[in-house]
Amino acid sequence: MISIDLSQKLKTRGVENSCNPEWDDELTLGINDPNQHVTLEVYDKDTFTSHDPMGDAEIDIKPFFEVQGTDIQELTNGTEIRRVKPSGDNCLAEESRIIFSNGKILQDMILQLRNVESGEVEIQIEWINVTGSSDF
């Protein structure tokens, strides 16, 4: 199970009996401050006891937010808009690319989990403008 916290908590469904779980869940967060990191926590779901933490990671959304003003009219499918390198400000396990794909700006990330011996989580983020929202 993955929990995401940004003053609002979201959880994926649990995945049973898997050492390499795949969630393929879509979660939508309202972002008020692009300088605030999103915290992702991974848990081993237990039925009768509390869930065991299996690591966490911080997602720095600022680089992704900064490219949202990009004029996508002239971009072709697969165009790389920006590269984000692993740093102390993010938990990237390797360089991440922000790309234009099928009319959307996307970022695929492999996050190195902290507070655990080893572990990675692969995620993709996409910006969605919500009409009438005060969030960015």
Dump pLDDT digits (tens) for 65-102: 999 888 888 899 999 999 999 998 899 999 999 999 99
Residue 136 included in any domain: no
The four Cα atoms 67, 81, 6, 119 give a dihedral, to 10 degrees, of -160
What's residue 26's pLDDT?
76
For 9, the domain range is 2-126
CATH number (domain holding residue 87):
2.60.40
Helix/strand/coil for 81: strand
Residue 74 lies in a domain: yes
Helix, strand or coil for residue 49?
A: coil
* Number of structural domains found in the chain: 1
Write down the pLDDT at residue 106: 94
pLDDT over 60 (residue 13): no
Has residue 81 been placed in a domain? yes
Is 8 part of any domain?
yes
Residue 128 has pLDDT above 70, yes or no: yes
Q: Evaluate whether residue 132 is within a structural domain.
A: no
Q: Are 108 and 124 in contact (CB under 8 A)?
A: yes
Residue 88 within any structural domain of the chain: yes
**In this predicted model, what pLDDT tens digit does every residue of 56-65 receive, in sequence order?**
999 898 999 9
CB 48 within 8 A of CB 58: no
Q: How confident is the model at residue 1 (pLDDT cuts 50, 70, 90)?
A: very low
In-domain check, residue 135:
no
* Average pLDDT of the residues in 106-114: 95
